[in-house]
Amino acid sequence: MSDIFQQLSGVQRDAVQTTEGPVMVLAGAGSGKTRVITYRIANLIESRNAAPHQILALTFTNKAANEMRQRVEQLLYQGSTRGLWIGTFHSVFARILRNYIHLIGYTSNFSIYDSDDSKSLIRQVMKDLGISTDSVAPNTVQSLISRAKNDFVLPAQFHRDAADYNRGKAAKVYEVYTQRLKENNALDFDDLLLKPLELFREVPAVLEQLQEYFRYILIDEYQDTNKAQYLVAKQLCARHRNIFVVGDDAQSIYSWRGADISNILNFTDDYPDAKVFKLLENYRSTRTILRAANGVISRNSRQIRKDLVSNKGDGEPLSLLESFNEKREADKVGEMIRSLKLSQQREYRDFAIFYRTNAQSRVLEDILRMHRIPYRIFGSISFYKRKEIKDAIAYLRFIQNDQDTESLLRIINFPPRKIGDKSIQQLTEYSRVRGTSLYEAIKVAESGGFQARLLNALGAFSDLVEKLKLVALEGSVYDVLNSLYEETGLLRLLKEENTAESLARHENLQELLSMAREFSDHHQGANGLCEFMNDIALASDREAAEETDNYVSLMTVHAAKGLEFPVVFITGLEERLFPLNCFENEELEEERRLFYVAVTRAREKLFLSWSKSRYLYGQPQACIRSMFIDEIDSDIIENEGGSTLSESRVPRQMSNGRPCVPQVPPGPTKRPAGPQDGLKKGVRVQHAMFGPGVVRRVQGSGSSRKVVITFRNSGDKTLMVEYANLKIMP
C-alpha cells in the first residue's frame, strides 16, 4: 500500500491516512476527490483498521458507487470489497429497513413506490378528500410532500406550518397519504430517507446496534445532502465519530432538490475537532480558466474560501462572443466549432455547449443542423421531441388538417379533459358506422347517445378547435399559438403547478411561442401556418440523422456537473437568464456557484456568449450582459477583435434606455437598482414574473433592502429590492 500512496499528492495522502475522528475534505473542481475517498477505503481495509463490513460509503448515484467499488478492488485485490457497504443513500437505507422495519409496523417485504405509483395514490387520496385536481395539481402536492420528507417534516408539523392554499391542501393529503402507504405496506422513494429516522427515534436499540456496527462512515458529494440524509449520517457516526466527508461548497447547485449547503459549511460546528483538508490542485483546467472561476466564486459571502491552482500552464484567454440576437449567437457558436475543428484538428466530441434552461437548446439545435454539425442533448431530449412541444405542435397540425386522427388522439386530452380510452373507442366506432372522420363524429356526437358529461367535454374541445381555425385564417402562427395557450390555460396551469418539471415545460412552451413570434415577424400571408409546420417537420427529420459517436454535447449547466471537455461554450449569459431571476441573495449565490461549475468544466478553452436581444415569452427583449462576465478580470477575456476587455473597454449594454456605461472594473458588482426611493407601504408595483402587486412592508436599507409584496396571482413574496427590478405603477 505504501507504493500506492506515492500516486497521491501530499494533502491527498494526509487525508487518506488520517483515519480517526471527523474529517472533511474540501475537494475543488477537478482535484481528484474520487481518488481520495477510494484510497481511504482501501487504506482502512489494508491497514486492518476495519473489516469491510464495518465501512459504510454513501454516494448519490449507482454509477459513482460502482466506480468506487471497482477502484478499491483494483487497489487491493478481487473480492476485497466483499461485505463493504457502498451504495446510494436510498439503496443502503432500503437495505437497513429490510432488516428492521418490522419494528415500526411494516413487514420486510414492503413495496417501494416509484414516482408514478406515488402520484397515483396521491390522486386517489385527493379524490377521497374531495380536493379537486383543478384547484391544486397532484404534481404540486407530490412535490410539496417530497420536499417535506427530505426536510424531515412529518405530517403534523407540515399541517401546522402550512401558510398558503396549496400547502394547506397538501397537508391534508400528506396525512392520509402516509396512512395509505402504511396500509399498503409500501414506502415511496423519500420514505427510504425518512423511515430510518423514525426507526431510530422509536427503537433506540437499533440505532445503538448500527452505531457499533459501522466504525467508519464516508460520504461523497456532501454539499448535496439534504436534512434527512444529514441527520441519519450524524446519528450513525455518533459512537465512533469516524465520519469522513468529501465535497465542495462551491459546487452546491441543487437547493431546488432539497440540498442544504449549510451541511458542509457548518461541518466544523458539528465536529469542532474535525480535521479539514483542502484539495486545491486542479488536474483539469488551465490557470486562466481557474483564475476566472476563482474570481467569480470569491464574490459569494457563504463559502469556505479556497483558490484552485493548476500546473497545466496559462493557456488561452477566455473569448467573449457578443451577438445581436440568440440566432446570431448560435450561428457564431456553430461557426467557431467548424473553424476550430479545421484549424486545430479537433473532433466534434471535444466541444460542449452549456445553457441555463432547457428551452435554450432549440435555437442552438436548429443552427447546428443547418451547419451539419452532429450533436446530442445530454441529460434531456431534443427540443422537438419533448412531450409538451409535440402536444402543442399536434394542435397546429390538426388545425391545418382536421382529418389527422393521430394528432387528434394526442391533443384530445391535452390539457386533461377526462375523455377516457373507453369513450374514445366508442367515438371511433361511431365514426366508422357513420363513415366519417373521428373529428366529424365528435362534432355530431349529440346524436350518438353519449353521456352528457362526455358531450360537454367534446363540445368544449370542438369549440376550441374551430376558434383556433378562425384565428389561423385571419392571424399569424404566433396568434394561433398564443390563443391556444390562453384558451387552454396551459402556461398558467404549469406555472401554478410550480414543480421543477412543470416550470421546465413552461419554459419550453414559451420558447415555442418565441419561435412562432420570430417566424411571424418574417413571414406574412395566408400560408404562414403551413410554412411553419414544414419548417418544424424538416427540423424534426434532420434529428434522425446518421448515428455517430463523434458529436457536440449540448446540456444545461446542471447536467454538466461531473463532466469535462476541452472546449466549452457558455451561452445566454444575460441578466435574468444566467443568473436566472433572483430575488434573494441566497439564490444569486447559487447561480454564481452554477456559473463556477460551468467554467470549471473547460480544460483548454472557454467561450462566454451573450445576446443584446432575445425572444422571451414570445416577445423580443433587450438584454443586459450577465454580471458574471463583469466579475472576471477583464485582462483575461478577449473580444472577437482579439483585444482584451481591459484594452477595448467594451461597454455594458443596458436595456432600460439609459446610455451605456463603461466596463465595470474587478470588484463587487451590482445589478441595476430598481425604483427604491418610491417604494413604501400601499404602493402598486409590477414584477416581470409575478405580475401586479401591492407593497405591504419595506425592510432594511441599502443593498440589504427587502420588500414584502402581495401579488395578485402569486401571494406574498419577499424580494431583494436591488435585484427585483420592480416598476412602480400609477
Work out the angle between the directed axes of helices 500-522 and 387-400 (0-180°, nearest 10). Answer: 40
Rounded distance between C-alpha atoms, residue 104 and residue 108, angstroms? 11
523: pLDDT strictly greater than 80: no
Contact 252, 593 (CB under 8 A): yes
Q: State what percent of residues in the chain have pLDDT above 70.
A: 90
Q: Which residues contact 573 (CB under 8 A, 6 or more apart)?
A: 608, 609, 610, 625, 626, 628, 629
Catalytic residue among 251, 286, 288, 357: 251
268: pLDDT strictly greater than 90: yes
546: pLDDT strictly greater than 60: no
pLDDT value at residue 665: 36
Each residue's pLDDT tens digit, 409-458: 899 988 888 888 888 888 888 888 888 889 888 888 887 778 888 898 89
675: pLDDT strictly greater than 60: no
How many Å is the maximal CA-CA distance in the chain?
87
Catalytic residue among 188, 191, 221, 511: 221
Q: Catalytic residue at 601? A: yes
Catalytic residue among 33, 167, 410, 625: 33
pLDDT value at residue 435: 87
Each residue's pLDDT tens digit, 232-242: 999 999 999 99
pLDDT value at residue 475: 87
What mean pLDDT do residues 699-723 have? 71
Q: Which residues are annotated as a binding site for ATP?
A: 27-34
Catalytic residue among 188, 220, 391, 722: 220
Each residue's pLDDT tens digit, 375-420: 999 877 888 888 899 999 999 989 888 888 888 989 998 888 888 8
Contact 318, 289 (CB under 8 A): yes
Rounded distance between C-alpha atoms, residue 728 and residue 730, angstroms? 7
Q: Catalytic residue at 638? A: no
pLDDT value at residue 236: 96
| Reported confidence tier of residue 687, pLDDT bands at 50, 70, 90 | confident
| Reported confidence tier of residue 723, pLDDT bands at 50, 70, 90 | low
The sheet carrying 23-27 orders its strands as 85-88, 55-59, 216-219, 243-247, 23-27, 275-279
Q: Catalytic residue at 331? A: no
Rounded distance between C-alpha atoms, residue 330 and residue 113, angstroms? 42
Each residue's pLDDT tens digit, 588-632: 999 999 999 999 999 999 999 999 999 877 788 889 999 999 999
Catalytic residue among 19, 34, 653, 686: 34
Distances in Å between the Cα of 686 and the Cα atoms of 139, 693, 694, 709 are 28, 6, 9, 10
Each residue's pLDDT tens digit, 445-473: 887 778 888 898 899 999 999 999 999 88
pLDDT value at residue 611: 95
Distances in Å between the Cα of 566 and the Cα atoms of 49, 202, 232, 607, 653 are 41, 53, 39, 11, 30
Q: Catalytic residue at 229? A: no
pLDDT value at residue 660: 33
- Encode burial over 148-184: b for 16+ CB neighbours within 10 A, e otherwise: bbbebbebeebbeebeeebbebbbbbbbbbbebbeee
The identity of residue 380, as a single letter, is: S
Each residue's pLDDT tens digit, 343-375: 999 999 999 999 999 999 999 999 999 889 999
pLDDT value at residue 540: 58
667: pLDDT strictly greater than 70: no
pLDDT value at residue 167: 87
* Cβ neighbours, 10 Å, residue 126: 23
pLDDT value at residue 20: 94
pLDDT value at residue 262: 94
pLDDT value at residue 674: 43
| Reported confidence tier of residue 655, pLDDT bands at 50, 70, 90 | very low
Q: Residue 593: which H helix or E strand, with range?
A: helix 585-599
570: pLDDT strictly greater than 80: yes
**Selected residue with higher pLDDT from 543 and 159:** 159
Q: State what percent of residues in the chain have pLDDT above 90.
A: 52
Which range is least confidently modeled, 64-73, 290-299, 371-380, 516-525?
516-525
| Reported confidence tier of residue 3, pLDDT bands at 50, 70, 90 | low
Mean pLDDT, all residues of the chain: 86
Each residue's pLDDT tens digit, 276-299: 999 999 999 999 999 999 999 999
pLDDT value at residue 240: 95
Render 22-91 in DSSP notation, one character per residue. -EEEEE-TTS-HHHHHHHHHHHHHHTTSS-GGGEEEEESSHHHHHHHHHHHHHHS-TTTTTT-EEEEHHH
Contact 639, 645 (CB under 8 A): yes
Q: What is the CA radius of gyration of the chain?
A: 28
197: pLDDT strictly greater than 60: yes
pLDDT value at residue 135: 84
Total-model pTM = 0.79
| Reported confidence tier of residue 317, pLDDT bands at 50, 70, 90 | very high
Identify whether 317 is preceded by a cis peptide bond (ω within 30 of 0): no
What mean pLDDT do residues 571-600 have? 92
Q: Catalytic residue at 215? A: no
250: pLDDT strictly greater than 80: yes
**Selected residue with higher pLDDT from 341 and 3:** 341
pLDDT value at residue 666: 38
pLDDT value at residue 690: 66
pLDDT value at residue 525: 59
664: pLDDT strictly greater than 60: no
Catalytic residue among 601, 612, 652, 706: 601
Q: Which residues are annotated as a binding site?
A: 27-34
- Give the three-class secondary structure for 427: helix
What mean pLDDT do residues 101-120 have? 89
Q: Catalytic residue at 722? A: no
Which range is least confidently modeled, 306-320, 455-469, 495-509, 704-718?
704-718
